[in-house]
Amino acid sequence: MTGTNHFLVGAGIGLTFSQPVAAIPLAFVSHFVLDALPHFGVEFDKKAGRRPTFFGVITKIDGLVALLLLYFAVVSQPWLVPICMIVALSPDFVWLYKFSIQEKFGKLPPAP
C-alpha cells in the first residue's frame, strides 16, 4: 500500500474521531487492515539485478504527495489529524531500514 493511502485513511480517522484515545490506536490498526487488501507492489527483477525503474518513480511521487498532504494537515487541521496520519504510516518505517540497509536501495534482492 502506498504511503499516501495510509496518510489519507489516518487523516479520515483523525477527522472522524475527536478523542485521541480512540483515534490514535485506530489509525495504527488501519495500517494492517489496508495492508491486508490487495495493493500496489513491484517484484525484484532478477534478470536486471534490481527493482524496476518504475518502482523508484512511483515511490518518489508517492513520497512527495504524502509529504504535501502532511504539510497541509499540519497547517490547516487540529493536531490530532497529522498525528493520526503519521501513526497510520508508522509500521512502514521498518521498510526504510530494510530497503536502505539490507537491499542497498533496491540493488540487492529482498531477504526472505
Is residue 49 left, alpha or beta, with left meaning phi > 0 and alpha meaning psi from -120 to 50? left
Q: Is residue 103's pLDDT more than 90?
A: no
Mean pLDDT of the chain: 83
Q: State what percent of residues in the chain have pLDDT above 90.
A: 48
The DSSP 8-state label assigned to residue 111 in this structure reads P
Q: Is residue 29's pLDDT more than 90?
A: yes
Give the pLDDT band of residue 32 (cuts 50, 70, 90). Answer: very high
- The pTM score is 0.75
**Residues 59-82: what's their mean pLDDT?**
91
Cα-flanking dihedrals φ and ψ of residue 54, to 5°?
A: -55, -40
pLDDT given for residue 71 in this prediction: 94
Cβ–Cβ under 8 Å, residues 82 and 10: no
pLDDT given for residue 52 in this prediction: 67
Q: Say whether 45 sits in a helix, a strand or coil.
A: strand
Cβ–Cβ under 8 Å, residues 90 and 27: no
**Residues 97-105: what's their mean pLDDT?**
67
Cα-flanking dihedrals φ and ψ of residue 108, to 5°?
A: -115, 150
**Structure-model confidence comparison of residues 82 and 47, the more confident one:** 82
